[in-house]
Structure 1
């Protein structure tokens, strides 16, 4: 098993449940507790300041339920639901929770869920570390049990899809699919050639064909530049514009 540390937050409106899960986290070497919160609203405020890998999240809470909250989380943050009500199990898995713990649960059950999370994060990290760059001209990515060499000059854009990335290349109608986070990929790509313009898209600046209002057109695909990334993208446009 990987020796990675998984940062986590516990969210539950019951103080006894919070303390119990905290004691379980402290017994588990690969978990690192960052915060415990008595509501989803409190957790949301904390995560804006300090994102974490994993949430142990109660479902039935006032103001904002765990299911509703889970839909607001970044793609990189995963969830293990904790609840006293088994009717939420199906809904929990619909939002792609890593596991579902039915209260009252003991440490053995908790550890099984934590190990499942550890396995998932280990697989993602292993796949990310298998990227090798050659002066940032190439990336090697794992796809369908193969290591594929991707020439960066051929990349049109990267599209994030839950836990996977689609790599769209010139002259290829179908994308390459690989298990990886967009956040990790962004850190590995040269800033001079690639820019994140949306929560789900990193584009090749050299392959931008048109800009229409808040949309980039690459290979007939329209990609919206979201507010979060607009200032940086406009800086790039102005720097390379002949209309200054």
Structure 2
């Protein structure tokens, strides 16, 4: 499992140190570094961030106030030189609190706590999903879904045990947020695949029988990381 993270701190030296720590931690995937909370807003909106290493004393809006605006699925690890903020930090449900100067041992402990939290959350997720299909509600087992295709306002679920796909009126983005990322990955604007069902890859396409699904440039790096971890 990889955790997508950001660093928000107005001190360049602190950013550089945390960046070094993140890059040498295998299960952390750095999505960006920012000198203010305002600068981080667009990345948090566009990317699927799991963890934010967030300084407290910053211009415009401090880390404590900024953390209250973040979605609950983003776990906060505060980084600050002032220990008097510790209680306030935990009041806003921070996962951990690192006091500067931060050594790698303490950083790793906090990062591991985040990893354990997401692993537990992933395990706790159900193994199926209910979707509306016409006038019916269908229960689909995650393990039975091969891939999902976006078609305008609809998505189609291609099921291993069924001849015909199941269609549902929903957005690809809302579906992507609900599916467990340990199993499902978006590899194209129009496709999400079940990674457990990927058996053959040919010329940058995932092959399901006679269907060839392209891996687009946007998602190529993330998919290649998955492949590299699985390839001998």
Q: Which residue of 1 aligns with 2:77?
A: 80
Deviations 1:88-113 (A, max 9, x none): 00010011010000001100000000
Q: Following TM superposition, where does structure 1 have runs of at least 4 consecutive aligned residues deviating by more than 4 angstroms?
A: 133-140, 182-188
Deviations 1:162-215 (A, max 9, x none): xxxxxxxxxxxxxxxxxxxx9778459xxxxxxxxxxxxxxxxxxxxxxxxxxx
1:107 to 85, 100, 104: 104
SS at match of 1:45: helix
Hey, what's the Cα distance between the residues in 2 that align with 1:185 and 1:49? 12
TM-score norm. by structure 2 comes to 0.57
Hey, what's the Cα distance between the residues in 1 that align with 2:12 and 2:21? 14
Confirm whether residue 120 of structure 1 aligns to residue 117 of structure 2.
yes
The number of equivalent residue pairs is 143
Within-5 A mapping of 1:37-116: 37-116=34-113
Q: Which runs of 5+ in 2 are unaligned?
A: 132-136, 142-173, 181-232
Hey, what's the Cα distance between the residues in 2 that align with 1:125 and 1:183? 16
SS at match of 1:123: helix
Hey, what's the Cα distance between the residues in 2 that align with 1:185 and 1:51? 9
Hey, what's the Cα distance between the residues in 1 that align with 2:129 and 2:37? 40
Q: Which residue of 1 aligns with 2:212?
A: none
Hey, what's the Cα distance between the residues in 2 that align with 1:133 and 1:43? 32
1:30 to 2, 19, 27: 27
Tell me by how many angstroms 1:51 deviates: 3.3
Hey, what's the Cα distance between the residues in 1 that align with 2:121 and 2:89? 22
Task: Note closer, same or farther for the CA distance 1:39–1:123 as it changes in structure 2 (3 Å cut).
Answer: same
SS at match of 1:126: helix
Q: Which runs of 5+ in 1 are unaligned?
A: 141-181, 189-244
Please tell me the root mean square deviation across aligned C-alpha atoms, in Å. Answer: 2.4
Hey, what's the Cα distance between the residues in 2 that align with 1:131 and 1:139? 9
